[in-house]
Chains A and B, each alone.
Chain A
Amino acid sequence: MSPNPTGAAQAQPRPYSREWLLSDRPVSRRQARLGRAYIVWRRFAENRLALVGLAIIILLLLVAAFADVLSPHDPVVGDLRNARLLPPGSEGYLLGTDDQGRDILSRLVYGSRLTLLVVVLVAIIAAPIGLIVGTVSGYIGGWADAVLMRITDIFLAFPKLVLALALVAALGPGIENAILAIAVTSWPPYARIARAETMTFRNSEFIAAVKLMGASPLRIILRHVMPLCVSSLIVRVTLDMAGIILTAAGLGFLGLGAQPPLPEWGAMIASGRRFILDQWWVAAMPGFAILVVSLGFNLLGDGLRDALDPKEAGQ
């Protein structure tokens, strides 16, 4: 840490206390950063719905982590003979069983892993691609922009689900390919956002100032532009997670996503669809799970946006 002649004289609040975090004269990088995070957190925490969203997502993480402990039955092997299509509340089967005699609750619990896998992988693949394409295109402009945006446009002009369908059809159904297909169709909006945002910064004075420091374009993009796009991208990705879950479920529903006996929620709805009239729970339960989780992501993303970007929330 640097020497701090003036700061030392003032009474500094106890480290990590609320005052310390909220101090508008932080004395160290860490305090500044934590203070910033704390403010974001406070803004976030003011929004009850956002907290509900966060709670849902944490719950999802916990369920996924402790699936082995939580699920009362094997998610894959059922009891076709004795326990087929039992209604919710049947003995030993809280949410009932499906047509293979498998415990729906256990399948939902294990399915949370797949859901997480999908959203995390898609986010990891698509967001950085979009970020790089968008910032480079927006910052460099000219030919690079034209070419990159053409490619983006082509992907945008494709009907998203159809492209995903086509890709999955081409690569063969399966959760990995579904993830890949969703990722391939998800990055263009991120590129658009990152580009639009970059364009607003590109001619701003603080970027001009960095240029006048002699910074190379690469440095400007990496260290000055990207960090600015990241928060809106995080917000967007969080909000998109719901969409990703829905697309994955849609693919699963059309039989092109995760494959049996994997307890993917969309595929579960698809197989439950056949019993919707008499054994409604087979399709209703996984649909409900999807609804809750994507609602969680949406609430979280909404809250994040308000917290990270008060302007956009209209404050």
Chain B
Amino acid sequence: AATPKDTLVLAWAIDDIITLDPGEAFEISAGEIMGNAYDNLVNLDINDTSKVTPGVAASWTVSDDALTYTFKIKPDLKFASGNPITAADVAYTFERAVKLDKSPAFILTQFGLTKDNVTEKAKATDDSTFVLTVDKAYAPSFVLNCLTANVASIVDKALLEEHVADGDFGNGWLKTNYAGSGPFKMMQWRANEILVLERNDNYYGEKAKVKRAIYRHMKESSGQRLALEAGDIDVARNLEPGDLDAIAKNKEIITDAAPKGTVYYFSLNQKNANLAKPEVREALKYLVDYDAIGATLIKGIGEIHQTFLPKGMLGSLDENPYRLDVAKAKELLAKAGLADGFDVTMDVRNTQPVTGIAESVQQTFAQAGVKLSIIPGDGKQTLTKYRARNHDIYIGQWGTDYWDPHSNADTFAANPNNADDAAAKPLSWRNAWDIPELTKETAAALLERDAAKRGAMYEDLQKKVLETGPFVIVFQQTEVAAVRAEVKGYKLGPSFDTNLLSPVSKE
């Protein structure tokens, strides 16, 4: 059955959403909702991701010491609720995020904001001026990029204060409700079922073209394809290669693809004596049939990519030196004293394409005598094990927390403390990869204010991780949406929160 003209229906696996509070939400699907329903001081420029564009802030200045950022708020803006947007709301947003201290809060607290100083350091000096003071002379691109994250989405102070319970800044209420100013209002969310956005007529920018956008939770690619072909939905978001191939022939359906900041990798726990050997790490990188995987399992939904920064990000290195080379791998293994191979396990969450890749890797490993047994599990389960460093090999994906190279560098190339009780537990910690040198280099890159130089530093970091790291990065995700032809203007953005719906219309 056809969907109504004024309603856009998207089928998407939205089961990862656990909250819709921008101060708390840190999930991929939630990110897209935030991106459409909330507004930030600054937004990522979807045409050039190394830049930011004004959002609620009309303009901003950075002090010479790079410690103070002053934002001028656009006048006469309104929240969807009708309340005016002022600098006080922005300050409240910062205070709230820091004090709630939920998962994404570190994006702000890494600038030295704490519960005690946040009201001082993130402050509205008047109705239209917001001043943020950071603790170090970070690269401004880094700070501004971080401000495009959902956690810095401006929330409606007056509305939230009506819903405060136990000093929770309205968090309990906002988990399922809405207090924003974006092009869409979040109207209803039924977990694992449906999420409804409606046009926000108070939005200051260009108004959304459709009245309503409905995300319908559907996990299965084949189901999405069926529904898309039947016209029950307008957009299918989780199509797999086979289905993409199939709909390619369908004239009523077009596709749009955009590389995303997510890389799929498997990582080798350095607590495992075999995997700790540098030769083994290298050998395993030669035991992946990148080409075959690229041509089949991830065809259309990803591109072979072996470095930790996704393509399109500042400093990203596009270099894929490894290919399947069993002879070379055998040689390396022999050098490591493991000529006969060894037994090792891999924790795999049972979703595609991870499972398929794991199975493929299982086959290619076997060619060099490495006997890989797959321990599958549900996402939460494998992750629990991974976080506790109890795995041998873990296969999974990593998506950038915010659109800045530091996000990935910080996790792939820095490990400030490799002890079991460390405070920070980046991916390198999870794999017990002790890298004091790289950690320092990562910190240095953060303070480099010259963008070109900063990029070069990240390139260098990527090379090192590529050669010596315990991460076998396989591909970068390409997000694909299959759209019915009558839908116009649907375009996937470069990041998860820039899949914007407001330009979309239906004929």
Contact = CB atoms under 8 A, between A and B. Distances in A.
Tell whether any CB of A sits under 8 Å from a CB of B in the complex: yes
Interface string A86-99: 00000000000001
A76 B296 CA distance: 18
Contacts of B220: 273-274
Interface string A231-275: 000000000000000000000000100011100000000010111
Interface in A71-88: 76-78, 80-81, 84-85
B319 interface: no
In which size bucket is the chain B interface?
A: 20 to 34
Contact of B246 (A84, A271, A273, A278): A278
B302 to A, nearest CB: 15
Contacts of A259: 374-376
B363 A255 contact: no
Interface in B217-263: 220-222, 225-226, 240, 242-243, 245-246
A277 B225 contact: yes
A85 B295 CA distance: 13
A276 interface: yes
B363 A99 contact: no
Contacts of B243: 274, 277-278
B381 A260 contact: no
A260 B376 CA distance: 8
Interface residues of A, number: 24
Contact of A260 (B221, B242, B293, B374): B374
Contacts of B359: 100, 260-261
Nearest to A278: B246
Interface in A260-309: 260-261, 271, 273-279
A172 B373 CA distance: 14
B352 interface: yes
Secondary structure call for the A interface: loop
A80 B360 contact: yes
Interface of B: 220-222, 225-226, 240, 242-243, 245-246, 289, 291-293, 295-297, 348, 350, 352, 355-356, 358-360, 362-363, 366, 374-378, 381
A264 B352 CA distance: 18
B289 A169 contact: no
A80 B358 contact: no
Interface of A: 76-78, 80-81, 84-85, 99-100, 169, 172-173, 255, 259-261, 271, 273-279
B222 A80 contact: no
A172 B381 contact: yes
Given A76-B363, A99-B356, A274 B222 contact: yes
A279 B242 contact: yes
A42 B296 CA distance: 56
Given A169-B378, A173-B376, 17 more contacts: A78-B363, A80-B296, A80-B360, A80-B363, A81-B291, A81-B292, A99-B356, A172-B375, A172-B377, A173-B350, A255-B350, A259-B376, A261-B362, A271-B355, A274-B243, A275-B242, A277-B225
B131 to A, nearest CB: 50
B360 A100 contact: yes
Nearest to B376: A259
Nearest to A172: B377
Contacts of A273: 220, 222
6 contacts: A85-B242, A100-B356, A173-B350, A255-B376, A274-B242, A278-B242
Nearest to A277: B222
B296 A84 contact: yes
Contacts of B366: 77
B363 A100 contact: yes
